[in-house]
Amino acid sequence: MITIEFSEVSQSFHGRQIFGPLSAKLHSGRITAVTGCNGSGKSTFLKLVGHLLLPTKGQVTVSDADGILKQAELREHLAMVTPELRLYDRLTARENMDFFLGLRGISLADAAYRQLLERVELSFKAANAAYTGEFSTGMRQRLKMAVLLAAQADIWLLDEPGANLDEAGRAMVAREVRAAARQNVLVALATNDPGEEALADEIIALAGD
């Protein structure tokens, strides 16, 4: 059971406050959507959850049954899909998966690889026909989802996961997010998409300026 707690968190860049003070709790098995206009701080919120950024004021803590997780411990729990994550253009889909999963000590059998491609609805033939640099943005997004699914993480940080996906792709994301929450994954979802908002048990609305 994981709990993420924001206590009176304010975030500023170059002296300009983006949001805050914000207090919130996110829990395992729950889907929390972070909403707000462009620039309101949704991606920043996810970075604070992942301890990729320290808050200007206040505290963000991630705890499990044994207490507060340190940054290195937290990393093992987290998986993230974000536009800022770059796949390697000159690697194949399989090589990208092996690289990113290898960082987590996970090796993927051929059958598991094929199954993951099926889950994210990326055709085996198309995925293997080109380097990922030649993929459409939607295909790259599906591949990022496949890495997330294989990562065995219990905290998912999804930054506008449906952007660049067609309707079938957005339905796939919704299906996987719901299934993950049922398996007690904590999902934090930055979005402006009403369909994705509708998945959420909890909404944190950032005001923007």
Ligand X SMILES: Nc1ncnc2c1ncn2[C@@H]1O[C@H](COP(=O)(O)OP(=O)(O)O)[C@@H](O)[C@H]1O
Q: In this structure, what is the dihedral angle of CA atoms 111, 114, 120, 124, given to the nearest 10 degrees?
A: 180
Query: Does 15 participate in binding ligand X (rule CB under 6 A)?
Result: no
Q: Looking at 36-44, 81-89, 137-145, 167-175, which segment touches ligand X (CB under 6 A)?
A: 36-44
Give the nearer residue to ligand X in terms of CB position, either 29 or 83.
83
For the beta carbon of residue 5, count every other beta carbon within 10 angstroms: 16
CB 103 within 8 A of CB 153: no
Q: Looking at 31-39, 56-64, 68-76, 142-150, which segment touches ligand X (CB under 6 A)?
A: 31-39
Q: What angle do CA 83, 89, 91 make, to 5 degrees?
A: 125
| Nearest distance from C-beta of residue 14 to ligand X, angstroms | 6
Q: Which of residues 39-78 bind ligand X (CB under 6 A)?
A: 39-44
Query: Does 191 participate in binding ligand X (rule CB under 6 A)?
Result: no
Instruction: Compute the distance between CA of residue 186 and CA of residue 4 in angstroms, rounded to an integer.
Output: 9
| Cα dihedral across residues 98, 101, 103, 107: positive or negative | negative
The entry of Mg ion, ligand X, none that residue 107 binds, CB within 5 to 8 Å by partner kind = none
Give the nearer residue to ligand X in terms of CB position, either 68 or 207.
207
Q: Looking at 33-41, 55-63, 101-109, 172-180, which segment touches ligand X (CB under 6 A)?
A: 33-41
One-letter amino acid of 88: Y
Instruction: Compute the distance between CA of residue 49 and CA of residue 195 in angstroms, rounded to an integer.
Output: 23
Q: Tell me phi and psi for residue 50, to 5 degrees.
A: -80, 0
Query: Does 124 participate in binding ligand X (rule CB under 6 A)?
Result: no
**According to CB under 5 A, which one of 32, 35, 40, 43 is a site residue for Mg ion?**
43
Give the residues lining the site for Mg ion (CB under 5 A). 42-43
The footprint of ligand X (CB under 6 A) covers 13, 18, 36, 38-44, 190
